[in-house]
Amino acid sequence: MSETVVEVRDLSKYYPPDVKAVDGISFTIGAGQIFSMLGPNGAGKTTTVEILEGLRNPTSGEVMIFGQNILKDYSKLRKRVGILPQNFEPFDLLKPWEAIQYWTQLYDIRITKKEINRALERVGLFERRNIHSKKLSGGEKRKLGIALSLVNNPELLFLDEPTTGLDPKGRRDLWALINEIKEKGTTVFLTTHYLDEAERLADDVSIMHKGKIIAEGSPDNLVEKYGKATIVVLEGAGSSGLQKLKEKGIDAHLDDADERDVLVPVRKHSEMKSMMCTLASSDINMADIYTRRETLEDVFLNLVGSKMEDGVLKE
C-alpha cells in the first residue's frame, strides 16, 4: 500500500439558500497515483479541488494533505502543491519564458535561463518560448499552465479539467505529459468529464454526480462492479443488420460513435457461446465479429442513466 497523500472525510460545501455543491464525500489518494474525479458540469469537482487547494472553506468535514489538516495551516502545504485552475489563460502579453520567470518570483524561487528552458522543454514549448501567449493554441496555453504549476516542483498537482475544449491531438499530447509527470513521482488530482481520459490515465476514479461520489475504484474495478455485460461487436453490420437481429428477437443497438457497428450485449457468460454461434451463422453482412468488455462510458450510463458529452448529460 502506498503512503496516503490526501485524505478527505465527509466533506460538504453548501451555498445558501439550498445548493449542496459537495455533499458528504470521502476518499483517499495514494502517493504517486493519478486520481481522477469524473463528473458532469455542476457535479462539484471544482468546489472540491478548490477546497483541497485552500482557496475555499468547506461547510463541514475534514481534509488532511501530507498528514496535515488543511484548515489549521495551509501555508506550509502551499509550497508542496501545484495548481492548474479550470479554464486557465496565461497573460496575453507575456511570452512563455517570461511567464515562467514571473511565476517563480511569486514563489520566491530563483531560476536560471537554463532552468526556464528546461521547464519549457518538459512541456514541449521550448520552440514557442518567444511568442506572446495570446498567439498560443488552446493546447499550448494549457501546457504553459502546467509548466507554471510545476515551477515549485510540487509533490501533489491539481489539474482542473486540463483537456476540456482541446482537439484530439491536444488531448493526447496532454495525456502523455500527465503520464510523464506521474512517472517523475508526482501525485496528480485530475478532474475531467471525459470518460476515456479517466479510463486511460487514472489509477483511481471517483464518479461524482450532484455533489456525491456515486462510485469509486480503479477503471477495471468499476467495469467489473458496475458493468452489466460483454459486448459482441458486429463490425459494419449497420442498420440492416440491426433490423435482422430485431426480427430474431435479439437485443441489439447501433454504436453511437459511427452507427456502422451493431452492438449486442450478452449479460451472462454462459450465454456467450450460443449467442456467438447464432450471430456468426446469421446472414448479416459484416466485416468482422469480436467481443469487447464494457468501458467506463457504459458504467457511467448504467449508474447515472444518461450519457455524458462534453460535460452535458444527454437524454
Ligand X SMILES: Nc1ncnc2c1ncn2[C@@H]1O[C@H](COP(=O)(O)OP(=O)(O)OP(=O)(O)O)[C@@H](O)[C@H]1O
Residue range at the interface with ligand X (CB under 6 A); choices 34-42, 62-70, 139-147, 246-254:
34-42
Shortest Å, Cβ 161 to Mg ion: 6
CB of 118 to ligand X, least distance (A): 32
Chosen from ligand X, Mg ion, none, partner binding at 42 (C-beta under 5 to 8 Å by type):
ligand X
What does the per-residue mask of binding to ligand X show for 76-115, with x meaning CB under 6 A? ----------x-----------------------------
Rounded Cα distance, 47 and 304, in Å: 21
* Three-state secondary-structure class, residue 207: strand
Residue from 35, 44, 147, 294 binding ligand X (CB under 6 A): 44
Contact between 290 and ligand X per CB under 6 A? no
Cβ burial, residue 56 (10 Å; 0-12/13-18/19+): middle
User: Is 162 one of the binding residues for ligand X (CB under 6 A)?
Assistant: no
Q: Which is nearer to Mg ion, 54 or 96 (CB)?
A: 54
Is residue 193 within the footprint of ligand X (CB under 6 A)? yes
Give first-to-last CA distance, the chain, whole Å: 40
Q: How far is the CB of 160 from ligand X (least distance, A)?
A: 7
61 binds ligand X (CB under 6 A): no
Asked if 41 touches ligand X (CB under 6 A), the answer is: yes
Instruction: Verify binding: residue 39, ligand X, rule CB under 6 A.
Output: yes
Q: For residue 160, give every residue at least 6 positions away whose Cβ sits within 8 Å of its Cβ, in sequence order, or none.
A: 45, 46, 49, 84, 85, 86, 191
Work out which of 33, 36, 46, 149 binds Mg ion, going by CB under 5 A: 46
* CB-based contacts of 165, cutoff 8 Å, min separation 6: 138
Three cell numbers at 230? 460483454
User: Is the alpha carbon torsion for 303, 304, 307, 309 positive or negative?
Assistant: negative
Tell me the torsion sign for CA atoms 155, 42, 179, 163.
Answer: negative
In terms of Cα–Cα distance, which of 43, 56, 44, 61 is closest to 6? 61
Question: Considering the rule CB under 6 A, would residue 45 count as an interface residue with ligand X?
Answer: yes
| 48 in contact with Mg ion (CB under 5 A) | no
C-alpha distances out from residue 6 to 29, 68, 208, Å: 5, 9, 17
Q: Which is nearer to ligand X, 97 or 194 (CB)?
A: 194
- Which of 33, 46, 152, 186 contacts ligand X by CB under 6 A? 46
182 binding ligand X? (CB under 6 A): no
Q: Is 244 helix (H, G, I), strand (E, B) or coil?
A: helix
Contact pick of 12, 47, 149, 163 for ligand X (by CB under 6 A) = 47
Residue in this structure with the C-alpha cell 468482422, named with its chain if needed:
288
- Tell me: does residue 25 bind ligand X (CB under 6 A): no
From 2-10, 44-52, 115-123, 300-308, span contacting ligand X (CB under 6 A)? 44-52
Burial class (CB in 10 A: 0-12, 13-18, 19+), 110: exposed
What is the CA 225 to chain-centroid distance, rounded? 20
Out of ligand X, Mg ion, none, which partner does residue 44 contact, by CB within 5 to 8 A per kind?
ligand X
Asked if 164 touches Mg ion (CB under 5 A), the answer is no
Which residues are near ligand X by CB under 6 A?
Answer: 15, 19, 21, 39, 41-47, 86, 193, 311
